[in-house]
Structure 1
Amino acid sequence: MSHQVTILPSGLSFQVESNETILEAALRHGIDFPFRCKQGVCTSCVCRLRSGSVSYLPPEPLTDLDKAQNFTYCCLAYAESDLTLHHPFIRG
């Protein structure tokens, strides 16, 4: 099953499959998505979740502060629904 991901403010959209992270899907679609470590450490790929839900493999990578800020670590996150994310440096 796939879900639609939309990145604001660029308006870019792409499909993410259930077996791939948001970052993997973005790169597969040729989107210039910022990342470095792919381990949830560098925070380059962190987006703010505007709508939808994501899941992570254990252990849960988000701190309580991350959750309060609606941060999504796209290198580790799997889409559980259609998503709207915000990342100011992703361009269309």
Structure 2
Amino acid sequence: MTQYDVTLEWPDDGTDTVAVSPTETVLEVALREGIRLPYDCREGTCITCVGRVLAAGGDETPGAEEAVDAADAFDYRRQPKALTEDERANGYVLLCIAVPRADCRVAVGPMVRSEVGDSPWS
């Protein structure tokens, strides 16, 4: 079965890498492996689990100024209501409903959450 390596990058420069199949979400696998990602609704209607895609599909250009479109790395189980089209185009992804399409690196933690506006659904 195909799996993708999703590397979660924390504000303290720590990382966790999880192997995620295209039938599982990043949050499901992280929780199963004991990684404490923030989450709340698990439906894509809040912003609690947001991450920002730093690189996707082998494009490992650290410090690149150009935003990575989240669609380069993830599909969704359902439409992510809490993110705007611009936020998704700038790499933001809801890890509770995101299923991988490629190996990728994702920034996670409170600083990423603070970069995104409030959910229109909360």
TM-score band w.r.t. shorter chain: 0.7 to 0.9
Bigger proportion of residues as helix: 2
Counterpart selection for 2:74 from 15, 38, 54: 54
- Distance of aligned partners of 1:17 and 1:55 in 2 relative to their CA distance in 1, 3 Å threshold: same
* 1:70 maps to amino acid: G
**How far apart, CA to CA, are the structure 2 residues paired with 1:87 and 1:59?**
21
Computed over aligned residues only, the root mean square deviation of the Cα atoms, in angstroms, reads: 1.6
Matched, 1:31 2:52: no
Larger radius of gyration: 2
**Residue equivalent to 1:79:** 100
How far apart in 2 are the matches of 1:88 and 1:60?
19
Unaligned stretches of 5+ residues in structure 1: none
| Deviation of 1:60 (Å) | 5.4
Identity among equivalent positions (%) equals 29
Residue 81 of structure 1: how far off its partner (Å)? 0.7
Ranges of 4+ aligned residues in structure 1 off by more than 6 Å = none
Q: For the Cα contact (< 8 Å) 2:45–2:80, is it kept in 1?
A: no
Count the aligned residue pairs. Answer: 89
Higher strand share: 1
Structure 2 gaps of 5+ residues are: 57-72, 111-122
Query: Offset at 1:8?
Result: 1.1
Q: TM-score when scaled to structure 2?
A: 0.65
Tell me if the contact between 2:27 and 2:95 (Cα under 8 Å) persists in the aligned partners. yes
Q: Which moved more, 1:8-17 or 1:22-31?
A: 8-17
